Structure 1
Amino acid sequence: MVDDFEVKTVYQDRTYERHRFSFSINGKEFKGNYHKDEIQWLNPHPKQDLDSKQLEWIESEVHRLLNEHDIIEDVDGIEVKPILENYSHDVHQFKLTIDGDEYKGMVRNGNLEWFHPKPRRKLKDAQVKKVEKKVQEKMRQHLNE
């Protein structure tokens, strides 16, 4: 059981901004950073005290708790593909899954437009903004490939 889970932003508004979390298990405290969808453990690393199955469970629990604190979204498999190629403006369609629900939309001239159903009907505005930021990042990656 994970106790006393806390998370805060460190190096805010800088390129190396990240989220620092801490928690305890059976009285032993663990700390880490969450950056670019990865857990980066600080000393002591839980693998020093736990076997691989326990470590796997802890990391999934950390992801779940970070999601509860609106640090990460449960966004699966953002797919981006161009449509209307060879036209005067680029249009890309995207598809993603959030908490098991599939959403689609398009990015035209850098503007993101959601198809029906729109995620704002199920998610908070802050969550949708974070998802939209991830879609924009995926778009930039796609265009640079």
Structure 2
Amino acid sequence: MLEDKNARPELEGFDVETLFEDRVHQRHAFTFKVQGDEFKGHYYQDQIQWLHPHPSQMIGEEQVEFIEEAIHSLMCQSGIASGIKDFQLEDAFENRRHARQKFSLQINGEDYKGYVHEGDIQWFHPQPQQRLDEEQVQAIESEIHEKIAKQSK
């Protein structure tokens, strides 16, 4: 257990690999250490699924939230997850020649907006490319396209 319950645990040697690549059940397996204890899990659909031992068993329930927050952040930085929150999509300029879809979302507390027109994403200011890694921007744009495809079904 961590001696100071308020101290944030430090993840050491974080590693992630893809399992079942290009299959329906594709997911990412991750490993890391905290104070020499190794933990493993799977990351699937923005959810963490812990393998044995669960971190709460060895370093305390209070620390699990900090660890999961760090894992989500690392997955976003590597382009595995987009980190999108509060996604909203609506039609803009309906029944006009230049009709398109307007979207808004939040990432890391920042609000982003834009249009999707003929499959192209046009960002308003601020643009995520100015503040996020290229891999994360690609994951965000991919998720936007997936959400639009689901809506149009």
Check conservation: 1:89, 1:109, Cα contact below 8 A.
no
Check conservation: 2:77, 2:136, Cα contact below 8 A.
no
| Aligned pairs, number | 144
- Aligned position for 2:46: 37
Q: Matched residues in 1 for 2:106 and 2:56: separation?
A: 31
Shift of 1:10: 1.6
How big is the alpha-carbon RMSD for the aligned residues of Structure 1 and Structure 2?
2.5
Amino acid at match of 1:61: A
Q: How does 1:43-82 map to 2 (within 5 A)?
A: 43-82=52-91
Shift of 1:29: 1.2
Q: How does 1:113-132 map to 2 (within 5 A)?
A: 113-132=122-141
Name the structure, 1 or 2, with higher relative contact order (CA <8 Å, separation 6+). Answer: 2
Shift of 1:26: 2.4
SS in 2 for 1:43: coil
Aligned with 2:107 (options 88, 98, 102): 98
Check conservation: 2:78, 2:135, Cα contact below 8 A.
no
Q: Matched residues in 2 for 1:143 and 1:48: separation?
A: 44
Aligned with 1:10 (options 2, 19, 32): 19
1:109 aligns with 2:104: no
Amino acid at match of 2:107: I
Q: Matched residues in 1 for 2:138 and 2:79: separation?
A: 11
CA deviation profile, 1:14-53 (whole Å, cap 9, x unmatched): 2222111001222221101111111011122223334332
SS in 2 for 1:85: coil
Q: Matched residues in 2 for 1:122 and 1:25: separation?
A: 29
Check conservation: 2:79, 2:137, Cα contact below 8 A.
no
